[in-house]
């Protein structure tokens, strides 16, 4: 299937922010491990978050989805699976990585596998740290990559972990750590990738009752026995999904407002609206909405997006419509995402006519006259959404496999149709 995107003029649109994918994953995990029942309101029901819920259901945790809430009956830190369980995590890296540590709370072996792309995404650093903490992780195929078979118990203690591939390695251990036999202490020898997601993890852990000490992003200690408690929890809006909506104003001109975003959020992808402001957009953050307006030319910028990886592609397509070059740094870990995002983005922009240079840790976009192309997103939701937005400015764009947006923003196309943009 292909969705065609035509060029439009300046916009004036108001959207509702989709719920945060990162917060929904983590709230599901805390609620599933907690003592008692939790009600999660306004969750993101998307392919990725459903995979996490299904994983816990396979491990014996009752989860009930309703129209706008999830009810979870927690297991108190002892997963009730009655036998060995195999969980297909699909293309959800968050699901597989988070469940890797959680699996040590089962009395039976747990096998985690996923899509072909998932089997190319490394997990060796997480496995090594868990083995130090009492677990056993066996690789069914290539060493350091899924599928994996997890046995043993989360004993606790001290471990060093490399988070340069993904901060989810750290988040995975932290979220399971309240149920370790003793305190868990993690030391990071180098700054982690996407470190703002650790802040989201810490926020959810705190709100569900865990005790976490930290020193920046290089040392963490979780108190054993300070377990999660069931509670009512509301999911905030997602800044990474909102980035595509804000980008409509940035590439087409006009104004876009997004309601339902937390102005005090720890989400690192808030940096995207800071980047738009640096480029020349007017940004207004009110109590009920954030508004982005473009009234003139945008200027290129140099910016480090290491803590905002999910908005790099969105910023790159905006940069292609600016008046001068933009260099985005801090992108080395993008090669481990659903696709090699820097390489894929560069290739599409070059086919459209832009000048693009890619290094191991940077992407430079030099604006030039653009034309629409057929985009194959390689089953990557963020590629599809970023280039659909650029198509609104350029016209003549066609997006193959538009359904891949179900992974994080199922209502993306409907949101654009609803505002008359498609």
Phi then psi dihedrals of residue 292, to 5 deg: -120, 130
Which residue in the list 310, 379, 380, 401 is annotated as catalytic?
310
Beta bridge partners of 40: 70, 233
Residues 6+ apart with CB under 8 A from 273: 239, 243, 246, 283, 285, 290, 292
Helix then strand then coil, % of the chain, to nearest 5? 35, 25, 40
User: What is the DSSP secondary-structure string of 12-74?
Assistant: EEEEEPPBPHHHHHHHHHHHHHSBSEEEEES---SHHHHHHHHHHHHTT--EEE-SSEEEEE-
Sign of the torsion formed by the C-alpha atoms of 257, 263, 267 and 268 = positive
Strand 302-304, strand 326-329: pairing: parallel
User: Is 310 part of the annotated catalytic residue set?
Assistant: yes
Burial class (CB in 10 A: 0-12, 13-18, 19+), 189: exposed
Phi, psi of 313, deg, nearest 5: -65, -40
- CA atoms of 272 and 239, how far apart (whole Å): 8
- In the three-class reduction of DSSP (H, G, I as helix; E, B as strand; rest coil), residue 330 is classed as coil
Q: Within a 10 A sphere around the Cβ of 101, how many other Cβ atoms?
A: 27
Q: What are the φ and ψ backbone dihedral angles of 382, each rounded to 5 degrees?
A: -75, -35
Side-chain half-sphere exposure of 159, counting CA atoms within 13 A: 27
Query: Of 408, 338, 333, nearest to 125 (Cα)?
Result: 333
Question: Is there a contact between 230 and 188 (Cβ–Cβ < 8 Å)?
Answer: no
CB 332 within 8 A of CB 360: yes
Which residues belong to the active site? Answer: 310
């Amino acid at each position: 299937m292909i969705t065609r995107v035509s060029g439009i003029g300046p916009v004036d649109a108001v959207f509702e922010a989709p719920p945060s994918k990162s917060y929904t994953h983590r709230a599901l995990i805390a609620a599933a491990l907690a003592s008692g029942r939790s009600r999660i309101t306004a969750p993101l029901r998307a392919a990725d978050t459903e995979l996490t819920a299904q994983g816990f259901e396979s491990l014996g945790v009752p989860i009930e989805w309703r129209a706008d809430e999830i009810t979870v009956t927690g297991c108190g830190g002892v997963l009730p699976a009655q036998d060995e369980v195999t969980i297909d995590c699909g293309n959800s890296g968050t699901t597989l990585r988070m469940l890797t540590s959680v699996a040590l709370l089962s009395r039976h072996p747990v096998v985690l596998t996923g899509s072909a792309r998932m089997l190319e995404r490394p997990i060796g650093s997480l496995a090594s740290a868990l083995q130090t903490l009492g677990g056993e992780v066996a690789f069914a195929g290539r060493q350091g990559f899924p599928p994996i078979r997890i046995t043993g118990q989360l004993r606790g203690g001290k471990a060093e972990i490399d988070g340069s591939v993904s901060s989810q390695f750290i988040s995975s251990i932290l979220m399971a750590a309240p149920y370790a036999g003793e305190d868990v202490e993690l030391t990071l020898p180098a700054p982690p990738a996407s470190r703002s997601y650790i802040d989201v993890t810490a926020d959810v852990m705190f709100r569900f009752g865990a005790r976490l000490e930290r020193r920046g992003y290089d040392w963490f200690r979780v108190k054993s026995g300070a377990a999660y408690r069931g509670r009512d929890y509301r999911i905030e809006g997602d800044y990474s999904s909102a980035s595509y909506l804000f980008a409509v104003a940035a590439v087409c001109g006009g104004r876009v407002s997004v309601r339902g975003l937390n102005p005090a959020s720890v989400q690192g992808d808030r940096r995207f609206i800071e980047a738009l402001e640096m480029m020349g957009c007017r940004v207004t953050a009110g109590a009920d909405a954030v508004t982005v307006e473009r009234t003139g030319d945008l200027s290129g910028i140099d910016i480090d997006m290491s803590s905002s990886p999910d908005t790099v592609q969105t910023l790159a397509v905006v940069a292609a419509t600016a008046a001068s070059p933009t260099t985005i740094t801090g992108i080395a870990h993008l090669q481990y995402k659903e696709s090699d995002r820097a390489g894929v983005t560069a290739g599409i922009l070059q086919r459209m006519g832009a000048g693009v240079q890619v290094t191991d840790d940077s992407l430079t976009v030099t604006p030039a006259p653009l034309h629409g192309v057929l985009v194959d997103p390689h089953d990557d939701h963020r590629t599809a959404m970023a280039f659909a937005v650029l198509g609104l400015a350029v016209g003549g764009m066609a997006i193959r496999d538009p359904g891949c947006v179900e992974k994080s923003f199922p209502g993306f196309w409907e949101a654009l149709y609803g505002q008359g943009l498609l």
